[in-house]
Amino acid sequence: MQFAEAVDRHLATIAARDLEGFLATVHDEVAVIAPNGRVLAGREEVAAFHRAWFADPDWTWRLEPLRRTELGDTGLATYAVSYDDLGADGKPYAMRYVLTLVFARIGGTWLLVHDQNTLDSGA
């Protein structure tokens, strides 16, 4: 599988809220940094977060590709994200952030090793 296909597959598992498919695209030592700065480290912590997130039926997101680069066995994909959801109080909210995904080719398979979500400051 080529890098671009691996990224597309990874994002498709998120859109489908497919936890098992998602985990098949993730390295055991993955790190995720949420828009609020929370750091999730390792497969189990990332899986628990995504299990809860995927169970939430209210969120939607739109991704605008900004950059995709492949350098040897490392690939980087960056997107502008428009995210809409309902808060715990039932009120809608929206976030705009930049999503950067870093993949490593390990044994011929591209796996996510880092997922960085940075709030858009609007600047």
Is the Cβ–Cβ distance between 43 and 32 less than 8 Å?
no
- The whole-number average pLDDT for the span 113-123 is 87
pLDDT of residue 120: 85
Q: What is the amino acid identity at position 73? A: D
- The whole-number average pLDDT for the span 13-32 is 98
Half-sphere exposure of 19 (CA within 13 A, CB side): 14
Number of domains in the chain: 1
Query: Is residue 83 included in any domain, yes or no?
Result: yes
* 1 has a pLDDT exceeding 90: no
pLDDT of residue 122: 66
Is the Cβ–Cβ distance between 33 and 116 less than 8 Å?
yes
Query: Is residue 97 included in any domain, yes or no?
Result: yes
Question: How far, in Å, CA of 52 to CA of 50, rounded?
Answer: 5
Query: Is residue 65 included in any domain, yes or no?
Result: yes
Query: Is residue 123 included in any domain, yes or no?
Result: no
- The whole-number average pLDDT for the span 106-115 is 96
pTM of structure = 0.93
Query: Is residue 52 included in any domain, yes or no?
Result: yes
Residue-number span of the structural domain to which 108 is assigned: 3-118
- The whole-number average pLDDT for the span 15-24 is 97
CATH number for the domain spanning 64: value is 3.10.450.50
Half-sphere exposure of 101 (CA within 13 A, CB side): 25
pLDDT of residue 108: 93
| Token pair of 50 as six digits | 């995504």
Question: How far, in Å, CA of 3 to CA of 30, rounded?
Answer: 17
* 123 has a pLDDT exceeding 80: no
Q: What is the pLDDT of residues 46-103, one digit of tens each?
A: 999 999 999 999 999 999 999 999 999 999 999 999 999 999 899 999 999 999 999 9
* 121 has a pLDDT exceeding 90: no
